[in-house]
Structure 1
Amino acid sequence: MQNIGSKLFGVVVIGLLATLVYVTVFSDGLGKAPEVMVTNNQGEEIALNKPKKPVLVNFWATSCPSCIQEMPDMAKMKQELGDRFELIAISMEYDPQEQVQKFVQANPYPFVFVMDKDGKIAKSFGDVLLTPTSFLIAPNGKIVYKQVGELHFADVTERIKQMSPQF
């Protein structure tokens, strides 16, 4: 009887491992990033569905206290990891353009700011409505992390390091 139990346990473990391998290697996980082009601070175009390195996309608003609160930590992460990834902060369509520009000028963070003037970028990411909402996109264009609310910086930092070991 004990032999059957251990064999059954082994089959279950193998099944779980096979499922884990399939999900991490073959499935789309959280899906593919949308076909959106943004321009970084060097004037280079970045295709979010085909980035050359990991990209962290953060939807934010000047009226969002959590968004403003996490920006210094995002800047610190960008400074620590440098060129291992791109960080793109996308302001929401409802955020007044002048207010966003004032904020960006007053806070020269080391990442890219993009204004979603018509809401198309937020819509292309599944109709983002809540801020902050963040997506981590792998170099293969797959979304590997999504967070509604403040980022879990340790998790995101570790994933970026795993996806960019060459740096």
Structure 2
Amino acid sequence: MQETSTSSRAWIKPVLAAVVIAAIGLGGYVALSKRETAPAVTFLSIKGDKIAPESLRGKVVMVNFWATSCTTCVAEMPKMVDTYNKFKADGLEFVAVAMSYDPPNYVLNYAETRQLPFKVALDTDGSAAKAYGNVAMTPTTFVIGKDGKILKRYLGEPDFPALHKLLAESLRG
């Protein structure tokens, strides 16, 4: 009698193991698919204007951390300008945030001589870079959806065709 009882319960361990594995997998999927909310940072533009988080709500926003001393940043900037010009009519907002070590007069000179068409901000105390996850490497670009969640973080120059596809989909939705 004991033998039958044990063999009839033999299925419990494999089923429990499968349930535990499925729960771990589901937890991992939920954790990975859960998008982070962009930090509520008020940027200070090179013109002295405050760019408040409220002014960016409900919009697709690109936040690009860069420096005038960063060769990759300088090389990608014309493509960033083209990207902004391509999508601004659809509602894209763009804030180019100069790193704390970048001299403000260099940033101002760069923005004026290149006629950057988007908002350029100074992060003189490094608080914006810290709020965005301790950004240290430039360029680092964040794409933020209308819901305020970070859709994508690019370290280095983005894959521009993929970025354009993401922006087109996000601006439509």
Q: TM-score, with normalisation over the residues of structure 1?
A: 0.76
Superposition map of 1:1-167 within 5 A: 23=30, 27-29=33-35, 31-38=36-43, 45-47=51-53, 51-83=57-89, 84-165=91-172
Structure in which a larger fraction of residues adopt helix: 2
Gaps of 5+ in 1: 1-14
Aligned-residue offset at 1:110: 1.3
Aligned-residue offset at 1:125: 0.4
Residue 42 of structure 2 contacts residue 50 of structure 2 at CA under 8 Å; is this kept in 1? no
Q: 1:50 to 1:28 in 2, by over 3 A?
A: farther
What CA RMSD, in Å, does the superposition of the two structures yield over aligned residues? 2.8
Gaps of 5+ in 2: 1-21
Letter in 1 for 2:170: M
Whole-angstrom CA distance in 1 between matches of 2:140 and 2:110: 19
- Find the structure with the greater CA-based Rg: 2
Q: 1:75 to 1:48 in 2, by over 3 A?
A: farther
Q: 1:23 to 1:162 in 2, by over 3 A?
A: farther
Aligned-residue offset at 1:48: 7.3
Whole-angstrom CA distance in 2 between matches of 1:50 and 1:130: 24
Residue 68 of structure 2 contacts residue 107 of structure 2 at CA under 8 Å; is this kept in 1? yes
Aligned-residue offset at 1:66: 0.5
Q: Percent identity?
A: 33
SS at match of 2:154: strand
Q: 1:142 to 1:67 in 2, by over 3 A?
A: same
Residue 44 of structure 2 contacts residue 122 of structure 2 at CA under 8 Å; is this kept in 1? no
Residue 55 of structure 1 contacts residue 86 of structure 1 at CA under 8 Å; is this kept in 2? yes
Aligned residues: 145
SS at match of 2:94: strand
